[in-house]
């Protein structure tokens, strides 16, 4: 199969799985957005996804993201899903659609400052380390409400919800509790009615576990391998 046939076939499987998971949990298909995680893949591969109708893409490295923003159609919505260093925010602040990986007040402060530069309000998610894994970024569930209250004071940032990277579980069912706990945390925070904060977005679920994440309330699923195939880090331009 050619690369475009492969992506088309993967996408139709993913689309069917998303529809099934929505039906199973009584949700509308339109409540879930597929973010095509295109990290390490070149522009021509991304364009194949674009031709199939995909418009939301996710990247985890600033340099790669800013280069792709330059190269690819303006109508693409770019999601920053990886760890973000404060000194690099300036390279993506103008165009990024949403930053999923905010996990400190200092980072939020920098994003706010850059957003002011470009006269925009940047939508963000708070990354929560639900399973307390040392290898992962994100704030603990306990710290999340307090961080959001502090961030809510920044006028050029809009907190839209929460994001998590679940553990790499051999059985995806093992992550169900991670997703349902993130959903509960989001409901608790929504109930606090914090000014300038909405909790309508839950970014959770990757190739191995996105159907379970949808059953537990995901509104954004981030799928890379399942769509584009295995990543070849050896050929990545950094």
Q: Which residue ranges make up the site for ligand PLP (CB under 6 A)?
A: 37, 39, 60, 81-82, 165, 206-207, 222-226
Q: For residues 105 and 150, is the Cβ–Cβ distance under 8 A?
A: yes
Nearest distance in Å: CB 228, ligand PLP:
8
Q: For residues 86 and 107, is the Cβ–Cβ distance under 8 A?
A: yes
Of 100 and 154, which has the nearer Cβ to ligand PLP?
Answer: 100
Q: For residues 170 and 129, is the Cβ–Cβ distance under 8 A?
A: no
State the DSSP H helix or E strand holding residue 102, giving kind and residue range, or none if neither: strand 98-102
Nearest distance in Å: CB 69, ligand PLP:
18
Of 57 and 154, which has the nearer Cβ to ligand PLP?
Answer: 57
CA-based max dimension of the chain: 52
Of 60 and 110, which has the nearer Cβ to ligand PLP?
Answer: 60
Nearest distance in Å: CB 207, ligand PLP:
3
- Sign of the Cα torsion 89, 121, 39, 72 reads negative
Q: What CA–CA distances, in Å, run from 34 to 38, 89, 99, 141, 181?
A: 12, 24, 16, 25, 21
Of 49 and 226, which has the nearer Cβ to ligand PLP?
Answer: 226
**Taking Cα atoms as reference points, which of 148, 168, 154 lies closest to residue 103?**
148
Q: How far apart are CA 36 and CA 111, in angstroms?
A: 24
Of 81 and 151, which has the nearer Cβ to ligand PLP?
Answer: 81
Nearest distance in Å: CB 39, ligand PLP:
6
* Residue 2 structure tokens: 């050619």
Nearest distance in Å: CB 131, ligand PLP:
14
Closest residue (Cβ) to ligand PLP? 224
Nearest distance in Å: CB 103, ligand PLP:
12
Of 22 and 206, which has the nearer Cβ to ligand PLP?
Answer: 206
């Amino acid at each position: 199969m050619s690369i475009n046939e492969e992506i088309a076939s993967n996408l139709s499987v993913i689309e069917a799985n998303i529809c099934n998971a929505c039906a199973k949990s009584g949700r509308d298909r339109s409540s879930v957005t597929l973010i095509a995680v295109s990290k390490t893949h070149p522009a021509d591969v991304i364009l194949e996804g674009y031709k199939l109708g995909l418009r939301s893409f996710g990247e985890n490295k600033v340099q790669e993201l800013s280069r792709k923003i330059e190269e690819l159609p303006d109508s693409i919505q770019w999601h920053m899903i990886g760890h973000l260093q404060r000194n690099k925010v300036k390279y993506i602040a103008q165009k990024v659609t949403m930053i999923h990986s905010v996990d400190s007040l200092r980072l939020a402060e920098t994003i706010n400052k850059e957003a002011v530069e470009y006269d925009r309000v940047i939508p963000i998610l708070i990354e929560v380390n639900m399973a307390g894994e040392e290898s992962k970024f994100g704030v603990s569930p306990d710290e999340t409400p307090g961080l959001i209250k502090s961030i809510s004071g920044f006028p050029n940032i809009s907190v839209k919800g929460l994001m998590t990277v679940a553990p790499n579980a051999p059985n995806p069912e093992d992550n169900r509790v991670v997703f349902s706990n993130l959903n509960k945390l989001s409901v608790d925070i929504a109930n606090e009615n914090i000014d300038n904060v909405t909790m309508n977005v839950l970014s959770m679920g990757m190739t191995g576990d996105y159907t379970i994440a949808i059953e537990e309330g995901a509104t954004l699923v981030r799928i890379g391998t399942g769509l584009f195939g295995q990543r070849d880090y050896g050929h990545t331009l950094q």
